[in-house]
A = this chain, B = another copy of it.
Amino acid sequence: MIPAPAPGISDLVEGVLARDSRRIGRAISAAESGAGIPELSRRIFPRTGRARIVGLTGPPGAGKSTLALKIAVAWRSRGRTVGVVAVDPSSPFTGGAILGDRIRMAEIYTDPGVFIRSMATRGTMGGLARATSDAVDILDAAGFDVVIVETVGVGQDEVDIIRTAETVAVVLVPGLGDDIQAIKAGILEIADVFVVNKADREGADRTSAELAMMLDLTPDRQWRPPIVQTVAPRGEGIPELIDAIESHGAWLATSPEGRRRSTRRARARLLALLEERFHRTIESRAPEPDGLEDAIVKVRDRSEDPYSAAERLFERLVREPAVERV
């Protein structure tokens, strides 16, 4: 049964489709709330699927935010509209300007062809992945040609989020050393484009060479991620980066990998929604006799082991696959 539309939902839908910044912002705020945007999603989802979704990830301090802005500006100058979703607690988009950056922020912020939004990153990460996908849908439905998702790429959840992008650019900086080691396994898998940012620093060429060597170790890949050097504040390398992202998009469109990724995105999305829904159900039923709250006390006091308690709770919550119990 479809619930009756909340008051104002049509206004929100209209605002999103008309690319009205204020109502886009309200829609994303709604996506950040616990229940998400079931009704809005139903209404705008048919209008999605046109935007290019680009992920930008890398360790804190790699300059991702400045890079995202510079990419947005450069893409604008190519006549494309750009939305930016920052999923990064250290993102400067929340508040003010980027320190030391010479972009005239006001110019970007007043351009209706650019929309920048920082996601609230507190609370459960499962919900954050879901809310980020919703935000991307909203910007997609609003008609932005490109949507950039910026995350600080360290934990598994950030990797999950960035995997919702079609093309993932992994941003590194020269002399990262041990940190490269730390994230290497993860980034090798997710990078479609490597960015060596702050390339005016010593060691940029070495970092690029190390990446190239890493790529040489797995020569049988269908797409070899290009390595682009950038100096974001000066705009150096940005056109090349955009070209690399566009090339990857063109390749995806002709490769079975494109469909595989769409399928993977849809799966991740559904699982995130299901898990969040499950979590809400558990919480709402927690106070029942022999429910979660009672089980917590038992496990805390070690009168029941966590597996037995969880299994007991689970059996009460979930239907048997074939025979439905009375």
Q: Tell which of B42, B133, B326 touches A308, judged by Cβ atoms closer than 8 Å.
A: B42
How many Å from the CB of A267 to the closest CB on chain B? 5
Per the bound structure, the CA–CA distance linking A301 and B242 in Å amounts to 27
How many Å from the CB of A156 to the closest CB on chain B? 4
Contact B318 A318 (CB under 8 A): yes
Given A277-B310, A300-B263, A157-B125 contact (CB < 8 Å): yes
Per the bound structure, the CA–CA distance linking A292 and B271 in Å amounts to 9
- Residues of chain B lying within 8 A (CB to CB) of residue A60: 59, 154, 178-179, 182-183
Other A-B pairs, 15, CB within 8 Å; known A49-B302, A157-B157, A266-B299:
A2-B308, A38-B307, A41-B307, A45-B305, A89-B182, A90-B178, A90-B181, A121-B156, A267-B292, A269-B299, A270-B309, A273-B310, A274-B317, A281-B318, A284-B321
Contact B278 A314 (CB under 8 A): yes
* CB-CB contacts below 8 Å: A249-297 with B: 259, 262-263, 265-267, 269-271, 273-275, 277-279, 281-282, 284-285, 288, 292, 295-297
Contact A157 B154 (CB under 8 A): no
- Max chain B C-beta neighbours (<10 A), residue from A152, A310, A326: A310
- Which A residues have a C-beta under 8 Å from some C-beta of B? 2, 36-38, 41-42, 45-46, 48-49, 59-61, 89-90, 121-122, 124-125, 128, 133, 152, 154-158, 177-179, 181-183, 185-186, 259, 262-263, 265-267, 269-271, 273-275, 277-279, 281-282, 284-285, 288, 292, 295-297, 299-300, 302, 305-311, 313-314, 316-319, 321, 324-326
Contact B277 A271 (CB under 8 A): no
Closest B residue to A45 using CB positions: B305
